[in-house]
Amino acid sequence: MTQNYTLTILPGDGIGHEAMTEVRKVIAWLEDSRGLSFTLHEDDIGGAAYDKYGQPLADETLEKCKASDAVIMGSVGGPQWDDVDYNLRPEAGLLRLRKEMGLYANLRPALVFDALIDASTLKPEIVRGLDILIVRELTGGVYFGEPRGIEDLGNGQRRGINTQVYETYEIERVGRVAFELARKRGNKVHSCEKANVMEAGKLWREDMTALHASEYSDVQLEHMYADNCAMQLLRNPSQFDVIVTDNLFGDILSDEASMLTGSLGMLPSASLGDKGKPGLYEPVHGSAPDIAGQGKANPLATILSFAMALRYSLNLNDEADLIEQGVQDVLVSGQRTPDIMADNCTPLSTSQMGDALITILNHNMKKVA
Ligand code: NAD
């Protein structure tokens, strides 16, 4: 019997809808051409959910997400919700979703497509063939640590406080995600912290070392200070395979690494929790209100996020490979949305880009057959 996969689809706001329409084409293609079967539950998140339910993530939406094999999200936000209460803003829905689904590992690939090499601000010889995966701890560290706040010192001065805190179980579980992923890639993990000046960093290094020795000694582990990692990403990025780091450093290093590739419309991400639980897959970009509804959005970041869902939540590696190869081939063919336009290329709208990918997927399937 064909296995059925249940996906919750949350287009969100702005260009999320346009991009998700193109993801649906890819899902339909997988059903037609690969004999797969999907049950899709579509719902709202962000501003659209606020308008409909009075909150940016309704309880029933959350339950649907938790009961799915994977959640595919577009993007949230827009100026029309700027005046909404902080805890009801579109972004609050996304934060709640990540927290309630127990998503503690954020995966951000930085992959340089040969056809887009000129979009990087670095020299082609530095970024050619680049394929880095950053695993950022997502639910701990200084963004959540207590105590926090701003104190009035009573003498005209104030004190701002945030606390960097990690416990062993938090370090080990994100470490396991990184080591497991490295085994399926280049088998190398760089663990980044500031063990030289921070106790939480010292613990991070000791716990990673112990985890490596007890469970993952077949994987190459290197420790690196986070500031050095920031430099090395620009100097010699191809030395990296998987980078694992805490919430704060991961926030910064993943943005830096993704910009090596040069184009926001091409960047997917995944957030994972415990094995067997659904992951959340979403593009790195936001809802792009400046181009929403105009057919100018690049849907490839959302489609590549869906490919990550196939790989990491549904274990459909061959299908993920097909889609990623299809994206490479569309780019090589010179078909481009405006954000990645270059000389002598053919301009496409959002939906034309989806159609071009399907044409190439069909062509590639015929080659295989
Ligand atoms: P943005 O990522 O939406 O847009 C930045 C720039 O990149 C814009 O000029 C936009 O047109 C362009 N762009 C982004 N994605 C593109 C795509 N797929 N194709 C072509 N061009 C693309 O960031 P912003 O403008 O700072 O934020 C807009 C809204 O999105 C805000 O409300 C913000 O809070 C929200 N946001 C949401 C997420 C998320 O849902 N995870 C992430 C970032 C920002």
Structure tokens at 100: 């309630």
Chosen domain end from 225, 249, 265: 265
Contact 73 CB / ligand 1 (< 6 Å):
no
Catalytic residues: 143, 194, 227, 251, 255
Contact 171 CB / ligand 1 (< 6 Å):
no
Residue with tokens 């010292």, as numbered in its chain? 202
Question: Cα–Cα–Cα angle for 180, 126, 340, nearest 5°?
Answer: 90
Q: What is the CATH classification number for the domain harbouring 213?
A: 3.40.718.10
Q: Whose CA is nearest to atom 6 of ligand 1?
A: 288
Structure tokens at 207: 């716990």
Q: In this structure, are 26 and 149 located in the same domain?
A: no
Quote the ligand 1 centre to 263 CA distance (angstroms): 12
What pLDDT sits at residue 60? Answer: 97
Residue type, 140: G
The Cβ of residue 15 has, within 10 Å, a number of other Cβ atoms equal to 31
Contact 265 CB / ligand 1 (< 6 Å):
yes
Quote the ligand 1 centre to 285 CA distance (angstroms): 5
Q: In this structure, are 146 and 241 located in the same domain?
A: yes
What pLDDT sits at residue 41? Answer: 97
Q: In this structure, are 306 and 259 located in the same domain?
A: no
Low-confidence ranges of the chain (pLDDT < 70): 1, 369
Q: In this structure, are 79 and 226 located in the same domain?
A: no
What pLDDT sits at residue 165? Answer: 97
Give the rounded distance of the alpha carbon of 305 from its chain centre. 7
What pLDDT sits at residue 363? Answer: 96
What pLDDT sits at residue 1? Answer: 64
39-58 burial, b at 16+ Cβ within 10 Å, e below that, comes to: eeeebbbbbbbbeebeebbb
Q: Whose CA is nearest to atom 17 of ligand 1?
A: 265
Contact 287 CB / ligand 1 (< 6 Å):
yes
Q: Which helix (H) or strand (E) holds 325?
A: helix 317-332
Chosen domain end from 232, 265, 298: 265
Q: Which residues span the domain enclosing 16? A: 1-104+273-369
Q: In this structure, are 294 and 261 located in the same domain?
A: no
- Exposure of 155 in the CB half-sphere (CA atoms within 13 A): 2
The Cβ of residue 197 has, within 10 Å, a number of other Cβ atoms equal to 10
Q: In this structure, are 171 and 244 located in the same domain?
A: yes
Using CB atoms within 10 A of its CB, is residue 318 exposed (0-12), middle (13-18) or buried (19+)? exposed
Domain count of the chain? 2
Contact 291 CB / ligand 1 (< 6 Å):
yes
pTM for the predicted model, two decimal places: 0.93
Question: Cα–Cα–Cα angle for 200, 139, 169, nearest 5°?
Answer: 55
Contact 130, 261 (CB under 8 A): yes
Contact 290 CB / ligand 1 (< 6 Å):
yes
What pLDDT sits at residue 261? Answer: 84
Quote the ligand 1 centre to 117 CA distance (angstroms): 22
